[in-house]
Amino acid sequence: MARIKGGVFQMGSDRFYPEERPVRTARVVDFWMDVTPVTNRRFSQFIQATGYVTFAERPPDPAHYPGLDPALAQAGSAVFMPPLGPPTAPLSWWRHVPGANWRHPTGPCSDLRGLEDHPVVHVVAEDAEAYALWTGQSQPTEAEWEYAARAGRDGCDYAWGDEFEPGGRPMAKTWQGVFPCRNLAQRGFERTAPVGSYPANDFGLYDMIGNVWEWTSDWYQDSPNPEPNACCGARRRPADPADASGPPRRVLKGGSHLCSPDYCRRYRPAARWPQPIDTSTSHVGFRCVRRVPMI
């Protein structure tokens, strides 16, 4: 973990998406934060020690999803599936895959070989909270997360300055190519990347931007509905219920490997996303904080 000295900063942005407005003054006190997102290796240790079963590994209760065909009540998660050609409908690249979970990130035939140091994915807020409880940590607030991501660069669009790729150098794991059908990432980086593969910010934190979205403890409120074509809008598991209001949502921060200049520019500290607490996906992970003195 890295110690983050608290302070006052300008939170949000008036230059991008409506849900980031307005810019406002926020204050955080000192805290410690994980240097990287929680990896598959670290999450495996938690599972082995506790026997915890993640949300995506539990079959959904049809009673909680009115109108759901009971035959579809299978454990699984939302997986990004790039289309073979131009997409025919918004969000057509998301699929609920039975058997997909943190152990099997793209489906039951996949595993974690070679992904031990990649961020754990297919975790919902309660999974992240269970891990944090086991480690004696907590989930960061949205303000703590954004303050840590900015690392003193108030007013800058990106965590490293005002240029997305300074000198043509990628600074975070974001989409390379034309989203969603042309992925030009190098082999092994087509989805997530090993943590620490890109430069740390000025607080010594890695992957605050890109790679995977990260859960915060804040409930999402007082914002218009998200854009219907955003890359992050995976449908709930395994189908939307009749109740259109849906479940409570938590704030995600940081963007992911699916964020792209030509589609979803949420690879910035101010960016935020309203994630339903009952929806796990292949591009959402987490990291933890500690708010007590650490020797």
What confidence score (pLDDT) does residue 294 get? 60
What confidence score (pLDDT) does residue 292 get? 73
Which residues, 6 or more positions from 191, have their beta carbon under 8 angstroms from its beta carbon?
A: 80, 105, 106, 257, 282, 283
What confidence score (pLDDT) does residue 222 get? 53
Contact assessment for residue 121 and residue 103, using Cβ atoms and an 8 Å cutoff:
no
* pLDDT 10s digits, 215-240: 999 999 854 444 545 666 665 554 44
* Whole-Å CA distances, 101 to 25, 124, 139, 187, 231: 38, 11, 21, 22, 20
Under CATH, to which class is 38-66+74-134+158-242+249-286 assigned?
alpha beta
- φ, ψ of residue 216 in degrees (nearest 5): -120, 175
* Whole-Å CA distances, 104 to 95, 101, 293: 14, 5, 37
Structure tokens at 147: 């303050």
From its phi and psi, is residue 91 left (phi > 0), alpha (psi between -120 and 50) or beta? left
DSSP lists the bridge partners of residue 173 as 210
DSSP class of residue 210?
B
Residues of the chain with pLDDT under 70: 222-245, 294-295
